[in-house]
Each structure stands twice: as structure tokens, then as C-alpha cells.
Amino acid sequence: MKKKYSLVLALFIMGLYVNAQSYQKTGLGLKTVINSTVIEIQFYSPQIVRVIKYPEKNTFEKKSLSVIKEAEKTKLVISENGRAVRIKSKVMQVNLNLHSGKILFESLSGAVLLNEKERGAVFTNFNDTGNKTFTVNQSFVLDPKESIYGLGILQNGKMSQRNQKLHMVQNNTWDFVTFFQSDKGYGLFWDNYSPTDFNDNAEETSFKSEVGDGIDYYFMLGNNADGVIAQMRDLTGHVPMFPKWTFGFWQSKERYKSQNEIVEVVKKYRGLGVPLDGIIQDWQYWGDNYHWNAMSFLNPEFSKPEEMVNDIHKLNAHLLISVWSSFGPDTPQFKEMKEKNMLFDFQTWPQSGKEAWPPDMNFPSGVKVYDAYNPEARDIYWNYLNKGLFSLGIDGWWMDSTEPDHLDFRPEDLDAKTFLGSFRKVRNAYPLMAVGGVYDHQRQFSSAKRVFILTRSAFAGQQRYGANTWSGDVNSSWETLRNQIPAGLNFSLCGIPYWNSDIGGFFAGSYNTNSNDGSGAKNQYYQELYIRWLQFGAFTPMMRSHGTDVPREIYQFGKKGEPIYDAIEKTINLRYMLLPYIYSNAWKVTKEHSSFMRALVMDFKDEKVKDMNNEYLFGQSILVAPVVNAQYTPETIVKTNEDTGWNKKERDESAKNAVVDFNEKKIKKVYLPDGSLWYDFWTNKKHSGGQEIDQETKIDQIPLYVKAGSIIPLGPKVQYVEEKKWDNLEIRIYEGADGEFTLYEDEGDNYNYENGKYATITFKWNDLKRILTINKQQGSFSEMIKQRRFKIIKISSDHLESDASAKELEKTISYNGNQISIKL
């Protein structure tokens, strides 16, 4: 009996020894081998954990394209419990099952955050152009009622991305980011750049990538959406300040055909007194498709480009210009890169040397995409960009087709060799490399001018490159407009805050009543859609009107005194009035990892907003409820494709012009989130939260509501952003809760703010005492305002919905930079 007892004890001790030796501690966590799979758990910070898995007998070495954070020294406590080992930081804990290899992420209190699926890691042999590697798959198990957000710019109209199946390969209108965050307060970044399938169903949530030497993902705990975004930016890069002028109104079209035309547009805006800060020159200023993206003005209609740039600057406007990720065969860039094997051999836009549609393949264009993964190729790209365009004083870059365009797809196209391996291996990170190349080079060349890039595609980490991503060549329809709201919100929830869509939609030919004559601007079907899109666009980070078929300049829609013209002018003026609020929020994005467009789930614990896809906060004070259904005209169903939409002869004959009365008042249902009182921005009428209301709407007003406790600065009426200083601002105080707002100012268009050259004024509202405290101005910069006047307007919360409007109290004060308190 004693012998048997001794044997059992020996086996037990041996089991403990095996468990104790089944993993090794590392400087970042631990490493082990379970079921022939190497597993590494690495803490990059107390909040961020990296998980690496790969088959035993293989190696895994990788320099991430997205992640730039170096792992920081983190205090960890490692302990065992039976067949599991636990790694604990000061904010979370990770449990590894030493038998199955399953990983569980928990809060310190033991609440389950994310659970890997049992045997959820799968490696399938894959031959990637002669390189023996794997298709990699990792499955997780989410709570049934859990909501997840992110995954990029998605045109599916969904807010929560549960029960979705996505094939993630960058294209014109879908920009994929292999990241999601949960309403449980965590985020997951799948660090793989090859074509990837995301699948969420009742059994599992998984990422499956076509190519990978191993599984590589990051789990981050933020406790709330802002916290998760902060962790994602800590991991992949912070957001720089954009030039102040970029927050004004931008006019664009496909395309201005001469330098005289583009300058005249700016002159017309100035003559009409309608604000404008930017104008954009689209393609073909280089002349023809064989000189595609020459980065030089070869078109005789642009014979004096430096004069054009100077004329626009003299009108106090800025110029962006179209550049692409590809080059025509007659350009010096093409020839230099071809000699160095820096061009990909697959079909891209444009396919024909002739401009007519469809492309005449008897005259192939020969245009090729360049290898943006190659640092020398990025050098070449910048050298020509600098010499041909930046040297002329052009203010920023419209980097089109950064997905890049990949037409007539063949699987073997992904075999193309890049500097970093096969195109398949790094496919989805192309926009990150292309955009990053321009940003990095311009920063190295000069810090006197902030980099500004408008681009059509993005990947994780792109927020660090001064880039605003637009949602591609979407069609002009109400359905598409509706889809843009959750598209922008989910993109923002990936940690990339700068986003916009083509105001009015890109493909608008179905609204032309006489083929392609541009008469759509007088078509009331289109007018209604355009003004509602414009109103939404005023509450996105970049307000840019752009498209083809129908011209978008304000004077195309009529004249002053007419409903649509006046509605356009009113909306643009609203944008400029809000500039102090918008620019201060830009600083909050940079300094505090905030977001411009905020899904309501970010700020309200209200079950009704978890999947709300038609309202959002702009900043943390203004609730935006765009009108996204036709009220005056029937909705026109428009279906186009970014590849085939260029056939401008196809149009919906049902989109006939109609006679409607745009002066009529309509009704829209708006949900006001629980947890706050709300004020109608236009009337100051107050409503309690947690209810749906019938909001009266007019063609010239977007429904807007301000959260109680908000402090909103409003700027002067101007024709361009820098026309007037902010020395006489209106400060609106919305009663009902304590509030705080920090007004931010700097030099506007350089990087001196990185060295502390900026100033802030913090306003604090004590709701109980009815006291507004304006703190001492902090910081300084050249030409900082030292004497100001503030017109303080307090919006009263004494009455609720029965009032026609809330009461106002107005007081004007002088402010010299020292703290002052005002009893209101």
C-alpha cells in the first residue's frame, strides 16, 4: 500500500514538474509549445497583449507594417492553477490552457472579455510563389449579445458588425482594417496584410488570412471605446494636427479641364461671398493616358501652372492635386522604375490609351502600379512629386487609387514580387505604404507646412500619416447616403478619425435629364439628395463636394433667393461658424485620442443606440441626425459599380424632373439618447433623453441637438478660415449639467505645435452655482491673441418640451488671458 502511495505521489510530483517546465518566462511574458504549436504571449504594455502562434520546427520573424510601438517593460505576475497559467498586469489578466493552448482574456475581477475557441488556431500549408508558408486562421467565441465595431469603411449599412462575413481585399469603395472593438471595452487587431476572411456567426468569430508564417494578433483593453482607440493609436501611431484651412469647405469635380476654369471657380465663390478654402484638380492635367500621373503639367490647357497656383493663393484658397499609385509608359517615373523592376504587371486604371468608355483594348494604356513597399521606389515617387508639384507651392495631395485599382483580377496577379515578398503577402497594406511614403518624405523635406493627404484607401496605422480617407467612387443615391454614416463611424472606431465621402455621390449621371449635359443640378430629385448629403458632409472631418456627371458648384444649383441655393449657402456658413469647435476637437483628437465622428454607443449606456446607424455625435456635444430619406421627391433607385459606373449613358429613366415645393415643412423621427437633456440647436427647445421625437425639418436645416452641459464656441462669418481672428467669439452655455471645453489655437500650418507653440483656454461651467469660469490662457505662439471679447449666451434649462424655445441670457465680457468667473 505504501509502495502504491509512493508511486501516485511520484506521478503527481512529476505532473507538477512537467507543468512547471512546460513554459518559459520571457522578458515580455511567456513562451511555450502545446500540441506542436509555439505560443508566445507578449505584454507590450499593461493594456496591450500580443499573441504569436506558429507550427513547431518553424520560425517566425516579422517586422510589422502597422505596429510601431516598442514593447515597454511591464510588471507581470505569472502563476499556475492546475493546467492553466495566468499572466497578470495591473489592469488585466491572460489565461493560457497548457493542455489545449486556448487563451482567455479577463479583467482583474475575473470578468471574461474574449475567449479563443477550443482548438481555434489552424495552419494550412500554402505555397506562396515558392515560399512554403501557411494559410492562418484563428477563431474566438464572443458573447451572444456582444456588439462589435470597426473593420474599416464598409458599405453594408450596418453599425454593429455581428453576423457579418467579409472578404477583406482593398477596393475602390470598401477599405478594410483587420481590427474590431467590442462594447465590452476591448479591441482586437489581426496583424496580417494578405486577403483575409472575417466571419462572425453564432458559433465563432474568426480571421482567416491567405498567407502568414504565423498567427499574430494584439488584444487591447481600453474599458470604453475612447480607451480602445487610445490603445490602438499607442500601438500603431498618433494623429498629427491637420492644417487649419483643411477644415473649411472644399469644391471639386471630375474634372476641371483648364487652369482658367479652376481659377474662375474660386473667383466665382469669392464674388458670391460664399466661403471656400480649397479647390481640387483631378486627373489629366498631365495630358494623356500614356503620360498618366506624370506629376507635371503637360496638358496645354495648364500651360502656366505656377501662375495658376499663385492666382488661387491670392484668392486666399488652397490647391490639392490628383496623384496616383501608377504611371503611364511615357513618364520618366515609369521608365526609371521599370528598369529597377519596381512595377507590377496587372491591369489597373486606365486600361486604354484613349479616354472614351468603354476602354478600347486595341490601344492599351500600359499604365502600371508601382511597388510602394520598396523604400527606393518611394524615394523616386517623392523626388518627382517634389520637383514637379510641391516646388510650385501646391498645398496637399489627393492620392487617388491607393488600394490600388486592380482590374480584371487574376489569382496569379498576387504572385507579383514586391520588395517585401509576394503581393499576396502584403496586399492590404498597400495604402499604408503609399501614403506613408509621401508623408515621411514631406516631413523630412520641410516642417514649415503640415502634410495633408486625401486618399481613397487605408489600413491600420494610417492615422499617423496626415491622411483623410474618403469612401471612394460611391453612387448618388439615398441608399448610398444612408450607408455613409455607419461607414464613417466604423472607420473612426478603428482609430482612424479623418474621413469623408463625396458630397452628392460620385456617379450622378442618372439624374441628368438630357443625357450627359450636367442638367442634374437643376433636377429637383438630385437637388434634394445633394443638399441632404451636403448637410451631413458639414459634420464630417472634411467637407468636400465632388463627383462626375453633375457639376457641384453652388451656382450650378440656382441663385441667391432660391431654396436650394440658400440651403447650400446656409450649410457652408454653418460649417465656418463651427470652426472654433471643430479645430479645438482636432486638437482633442491629436492630444487625447478622441474622435470627430462618434457612434452614440461611445458616449451613452443606452441599449437603443448600440446598433444605431443614422445618428452620431460630432465632437462630444453635437448630436447629428441627418435627413437620409427623400421627403420632397420619390427616392430614385440607382445602382452603379465603381468599375462599370463610367458608362455615363446608363441612367435611370425614372429620375425625371419634378415640380416640388422646397418651402414645405416636413417631419423626421429622431431618437435622443438616454442619460442627457438635449437642446434643439436651431430653436434652443429642450427635450429629455431616452425618447423618440417628431422633429420638424426644412430643406435648409439638418436636425442638430446639443447635450446639456455643453460649451460651444462659435466663430465669425468669414469667406475663408483665416480671414478673421478669433478675438470676438460667441460662447454658448447649455444648462442642465456641469461642462468643460478647451479652446485651442496655434499657428495653423506648421509643426511648431509639436514644440509647444500653441495656446489653450479652458471654459468650465458649474451648473449648480450658474458660474462660468474662464481659466488663465495656457501656452503661447506667434501672433497669439491677447485681448478678446466673448459674447456669453446661456441657454436655460428651466423648461421642457412644452416651451416653444428655451430662455437665453446674454452677456459680453472682455478677456485678457487671466482667469475670470461670471455669474449667469
Cα–Cα distance for residue pair 231/239, rounded to 1 Å: 13
Q: Which residue has the cell 480649397?
A: 278
Residue with cell 504571449: 41
The yes-or-no answer on residue 128 being catalytic is: no
- The total of other beta-carbon atoms located within 10 Å of residue 673's CB is 23
Please, which residues have CB within 8 angstroms of residue 304's CB and are 6 or more apart in sequence? 259
Rounded CA separation 103/635 (Å):
50
CA dihedral 687, 692, 697, 702 (to 10 degrees): 80
Chain-centroid distance of CA 403 in Å reads 15
Measured between alpha carbons, how far is residue 578 from residues 248, 468, 569, 739 in Å? Answer: 10, 20, 14, 18
Q: Give the active site residue among 473, 553, 735, 749.
A: 473
Instruction: Count Cβ neighbours within 10 Å for each residue of 269-306 and write b for 16 or more, e otherwise.
Output: bbebebbbbbbbbbbbbbbbbbbbbbbbbbbeebeebe
Q: Which amino acid, one-letter code, is at 331?
A: T
485: helix, strand or coil: helix
For the question of residue 200 being annotated catalytic, the response is no
Identify whether 55 is preceded by a cis peptide bond (ω within 30 of 0). no
Is the alpha carbon torsion for 404, 643, 177, 417 positive or negative?
negative
Element (H, E) at 15: helix 2-20
From 400, 528, 549, 606, the catalytic residue: 400
Strands 278-281 and 249-251: parallel
The C-alpha atoms of residue 415 and residue 175 are separated, in whole angstroms, by 22
Contact in structure between 550 and 518 (CB atoms under 8 Å): yes
H or E, element range at 635: none
Could you tell me which of 347, 436, 440 has the C-alpha nearest to residue 399?
436
Among 40, 234, 371, 403, the one annotated catalytic: 403
- Dihedral sign of CA atoms 347, 353, 357, 358 in order: negative
Instruction: Please provide residue 133's backbone torsions phi and psi, each rounded to the nearest 5 degrees.
Output: -145, -155
Active-site residue 400, yes or no? yes
C-alpha cell, 231: 490603445
Element (H, E) at 179: strand 175-182
Q: Which positions are catalytic?
A: 400, 403, 473
